[in-house]
Amino acid sequence: MKNMIELQKNRKKVFVAMSGGVDSSVVAGMMKDAGNEVVGVTMCFSISHPDSKKPSCCGVDGIQDAKRAAQILDIPHYVLDFAADINDFIIEDFTNEYLNGRTPNPCVRCNQHLKFGSLYKKVMALGADYLATGHYGKIDYADGHYRLRKAADDRKDQSYFLYSMSKDTLSKVLFPLGDLTKAQVRDLARKYNLNTADKAESQDICFVPDAGYKEFIRQRVGDAVFVPGPFKNRAGEVVGEHKGILNYTIGQRDKLGIALGRPMYVYKIEKETNTVYVGDVAELYSAGLMAKEFNPVSMEIPTEPIEVEARIRYNSFVVKAKLVHVGDDRVRVDFVEPQRSVTPGQSVVFYDGDIVLGGATIEQPIKSIN
């Protein structure tokens, strides 16, 4: 990869985004090993969950672990305040999406607006040649432009969450872990004698406490968001009463509180009428989708339909589809075979093999014609 080759030839000033986890701590060690001038930076979001038993990527403990790792590596370390940014770009959107019956993806927006937005701009202004992070992905240079690619380890690949990066940042971002497995990363952490070598991974959304996202939103906007409303079937018949649209997401089967003699699934949420639609599993399948905020990170905007591999959620398989740019930042995706639980608010990401072509935010499914 061109970025990494350049590092090997010349000493560069590399700022490393250190979250306090093992991945970013190892990246700092790798960058120092390569002979670079390394500076650790940690984003402070002024988030505190003192009673939480789960590791967080941006809480007080994370900051302390990052600072200790920097001390072990003997590199300077700074904490930068981005509390306003996470509220304006992430938390407000997260809250509004749920209130409107959609299921947001805050990690995608965090990469777009914070790590490779606010933080990237800050470190570049401070004289960085590169910003390095602990993400599992790759960036290479081919045919005259930079491309985002999947990580070598499919189990750790985070390219689904990285598609929202601006293509203008690719030449100045490093993903040193792209060819490594998690086991190899932990081995390197032990080699560097890092305090984070055996630290558990952060799994949950950093700003949401142990009580969960529903309680988080309740505390922000009050109980009014839990207004009951009708469950309806495709025919428009009322088949029960829900406890507020915030409690439901597309594909949900459990905790509906209705008994119709067969499994029922949420297949549509209508905020305008405070209605949750339920039906048989067949209702979950869609022939395609419409999406907005299209970001062609490794491609030009297509002028005609193209064949792609699409992923509609992080833990789903890629499927064959046709991508059509319909104007402005909107695209249409037509699946070769109908897909289950297309969820408004989530991301659809497009691939060509291991190249991340781009992605967009799902607006609505396109149902099969029966």
List residues with catalytic annotation.
110, 206
Handedness of CA 163, 168, 174, 178 (dihedral sign): positive
CA 291 to chain centre: 16
Whether the CB-CB separation of 333 and 291 falls below 8 Å is answered with: yes
Identify which of 324, 335, 332, 325 has the alpha carbon closest to the alpha carbon of residue 364.
332
Name the residue with tokens 């090997």: 8
